[in-house]
């Protein structure tokens, strides 16, 4: 049984999150908080708050960005670029110490009708963090590109959340990348077992 944790904002909470456990099926235990992980610093704090529930996690899948990128006061993004990168790198380092595999889902696009989020900002923030995460060995799940391929179809009328079709396509993509990642864990476990005798001592 492979334990998986899903963290993220409402794109996860009321989007792909509820569907992923069904798609993963047997062999996976999935934990995800009933809380909206909101912006990066909130998620960072959540790593402490949810630590007991996340215990035993081998694969961490998370997204964070829409709250950080929103411009609700007309004076720029809620989180500055520098603060976003600093917080996201801190999150990455903590996760990499605790979990075997870490997967980051890029921030999804919004409709052009959205008043507070712009895709140019989303693209900029994604481009800031993705190369740094790749350098650390974090697996990238590019939900942005998937949803951007047909925003009218994959984003709901509220201009930001996933539509029914958007949920379906993103949930499948999340489940698929988790399954592929789990195969690398199985190989690791097999190699370890083959290199030990029945007492567990190295041979």
* Predicted TM-score (pTM) of this structure: 0.91
Q: What is the pLDDT of residue 188?
A: 55
> What is the mean pLDDT, run by run of 10 residues, along the chain of 203 residues?
98 98 97 98 98 98 98 97 98 98 98 97 98 98 98 98 98 98 76 36 31
CATH superfamily name and code, 2-194:
SGNH hydrolase (3.40.50.1110)
Q: What is the pLDDT of residue 190?
A: 39
State pLDDT tens for residues 24-78.
999 999 999 999 999 999 999 999 999 999 999 999 999 999 999 999 999 999 9
E strand intervals along the chain: 2-7, 28-31, 59-62, 101-105, 139-141
SS3 139: strand
What residues contact residue 129 under an 8 Å CB cut-off, 6+ apart? 84, 85, 88, 104
Q: What is the pLDDT of residue 52?
A: 98
Q: What is the pLDDT of residue 201?
A: 34
């Amino acid at each position: 049984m492979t334990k998986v944790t899903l963290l993220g904002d409402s794109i996860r909470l009321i989007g792909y999150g509820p569907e992923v456990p069904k798609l993963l099926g047997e062999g996976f235990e999935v934990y995800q908080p009933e809380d909206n992980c909101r912006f990066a610093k909130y998620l960072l704090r959540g790593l402490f708050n949810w630590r007991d529930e996340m215990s035993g996690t081998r694969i961490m899948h998370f997204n964070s960005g829409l709250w950080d990128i929103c411009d609700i006061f007309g004076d720029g993004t809620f989180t500055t670029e520098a603060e976003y990168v600093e917080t996201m790198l801190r999150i990455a380092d903590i996760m990499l110490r605790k979990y075997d595999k870490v997967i980051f889902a890029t921030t999804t696009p919004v409709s052009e009708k959205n008043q507070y989020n712009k895709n140019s900002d989303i693209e900029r923030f994604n481009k800031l963090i993705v190369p740094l995460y790749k350098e650390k060995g974090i697996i990238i799940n590019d939900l942005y590109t998937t949803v951007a391929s047909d925003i009218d179809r994959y984003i709901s009328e509220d201009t930001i959340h996933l539509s029914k079709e958007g949920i379906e396509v993103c949930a499948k993509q999340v489940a698929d990348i988790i399954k592929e990642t789990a195969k690398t864990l199985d190989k690791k476990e097999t190699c370890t077992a083959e290199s030990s005798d029945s007492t567990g001592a190295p041979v």
